[in-house]
Amino acid sequence: MLKRMSIRWSLVIPVKTLVAAKTRLAAATGPHRTKFAVAVAGDTVAAALACPPVARVIVVTADPAAAGPLAALGADVVPDPDRGLNTALRTGAAHAVRVAPGDAVGALQADLPALRPAELAVALSAAAEFDQSFVPDALDVGTTFYGVRPGVAFTPRFGGESRAKHLAGGAKELCVPGIDSVRRDVDTPDDLRAAVALGLGPRTAAVVAELWPAAER
């Protein structure tokens, strides 16, 4: 049986074309929406790369405005075939298996601006116990992480009520304490306020400081 701490992870992070990113935050971010989306993705990628069990981060994107900055952080960037989120994730996973067939593969959402490497490590340690598993979002509706152990088929079911889809697909829900930052994705102003309360990564924090005075947050 594989030991938890012996498993290394390849994490696949999908990044939308930035013109389509964070539409529900458009009113709050205004002309800074692209800058905000790059900052959030950058903090997510940087935190993932700083997590000890993570061997590599693979970003799947069709947008050069995101590809350049994320590659500069150390991510491997592969082109998005533009056939939906789950196809993008499978594309990244196939690349991961070619590069490191003995590593576990996980999908991580790109909008986790408060992500803490230590909390991600807790989630990955729990995920290593199961053939396939996932972390639900803070609302218990969506999914922020889905992963499989080495050699297990990678079958992500993101989109809509993905928590229910992953459960129906046989993935183990990871209900472990101390991973709030892994569960806090940001789609709305209320989500962003919750992420601010957890503590934003430096890139997102800098953009938020430009957008809103402290009294307005």
- Quick: pLDDT tens for 99-139: 999 999 999 999 999 999 999 999 999 999 999 999 999 99
Chain-centre distance of CA 129, in angstroms?
Answer: 20
Q: Is 159 annotated as a binding residue?
A: yes
Q: Determine, yes or no, domain membership for 140.
A: yes
Q: Determine, yes or no, domain membership for 43.
A: yes
pLDDT of residue 2: 41
Alpha helices in 170-214 (DSSP H): 180-183, 189-198, 202-211
Q: Determine, yes or no, domain membership for 216.
A: no
The per-residue pLDDT for range 50-99, each reduced to its tens digit, is: 999 999 999 999 999 899 999 999 999 999 998 999 999 999 999 999 99
> Residues 6 or more apart from 51 whose CB is under 8 A from it?
117, 118, 120, 121, 124
Q: Determine, yes or no, domain membership for 57.
A: yes
pLDDT of residue 32: 65
Q: Determine, yes or no, domain membership for 139.
A: yes
Number of domains in the chain: 1
pLDDT at 31 over 60: no
Chain-centre distance of CA 180, in angstroms?
Answer: 13
Q: Is 125 annotated as a binding residue?
A: no
Coil, strand, or helix at residue 61?
Answer: strand
pLDDT at 5 over 50: no
Is the whole model's pTM more than 0.75, yes or no?
A: yes
pLDDT of residue 216: 47
pLDDT of residue 33: 74
Q: Look up the domain containing 119 and give its range.
A: 7-151+158-209
Q: Is 160 annotated as a binding residue?
A: no
Q: Determine, yes or no, domain membership for 2.
A: no
Q: Determine, yes or no, domain membership for 197.
A: yes
Alpha helices in 6-84 (DSSP H): 26-29, 33-49, 64-73
**Least confident residue range of 30-44, 162-176, 186-200:** 30-44
Q: Which two three-digit tokens encode residue 67?
A: 């590809």
The per-residue pLDDT for range 155-188, each reduced to its tens digit, is: 999 999 999 999 999 999 999 999 999 999 998 8
pLDDT of residue 214: 47
CATH value at residue 193: 3.90.550.10
Q: Determine, yes or no, domain membership for 217.
A: no
